[in-house]
Structure 1
Amino acid sequence: MSEQRSLFSRFVEGLNEFYHAPYRQTLARAARDEEDLFMLLLFSESLGIDNPASFYTLELQPIFLEKFHEWHLRMGMPRCPLQHGGCC
């Protein structure tokens, strides 16, 4: 009985892989774009862009500061644009 369940579970995993594989890159790109927008919203005050939600995003900045370096390089900024402290 357990051998049949194992065979069935491997079959279901294979079907999931077959149906999800073509969309994996598209979903990853959409998630990256969403994260880029969030990082822009999070650090917009520090970059000189007015942010109406800065009161709420200010406490999240220390948490996401580690990811900021990767983000500003991906956005095409070779040097850290923050004046109060840099990551580079």
Structure 2
Amino acid sequence: MSRRLNKEKLAALFSAVSQGLGEFYAAPYRRTFAKARREEDDLFMMLVFSESLGIPNPATYYTLELMPELYGRFHDWHVRMGMEHSPLDGFRCC
């Protein structure tokens, strides 16, 4: 019984060390990863709303059904892109 207990303690110790090392190596790059993710999200938002913004989009049929899901984040996106007010005629978020 004590042997099994030692294996469990050792496994928990290895797990804690592994998590600590993961944090140690990932922490310096967390900001870089967040910036890259934000840039990808901005590009995706522009792709989804491109037809509404007057940019031809060959994938409009597929991106049209994503618009309702992204309307909640639209205000943050257009402000980050430097637009004071919503560029969409039918959608006012400000």
Using the size of structure 1 for normalisation, the TM-score is 0.91
* Matched residue type, 1:72: H
Partner of 1:55: 61
Structure with more contact order per residue of length (Cα contacts < 8 Å, sep ≥ 6): 1
Using the size of structure 2 for normalisation, the TM-score is 0.86
Alignment partner of 1:16: what SS?
A: helix
Partner of 2:22: 16
Gaps of 5+ in 2: 1-5
Alignment pair present for 1:46 and 2:52: yes
Gaps of 5+ in 1: none
Displacement over 6 Å in runs of 4+: none
| Matched length | 88
The whole-number CA distance in structure 2 between the counterparts of 1:73 and 1:38 is 16
State the identity %: 57
The whole-number CA distance in structure 2 between the counterparts of 1:17 and 1:60 is 34
Name which one, 1 or 2, has greater alpha-carbon Rg: 2
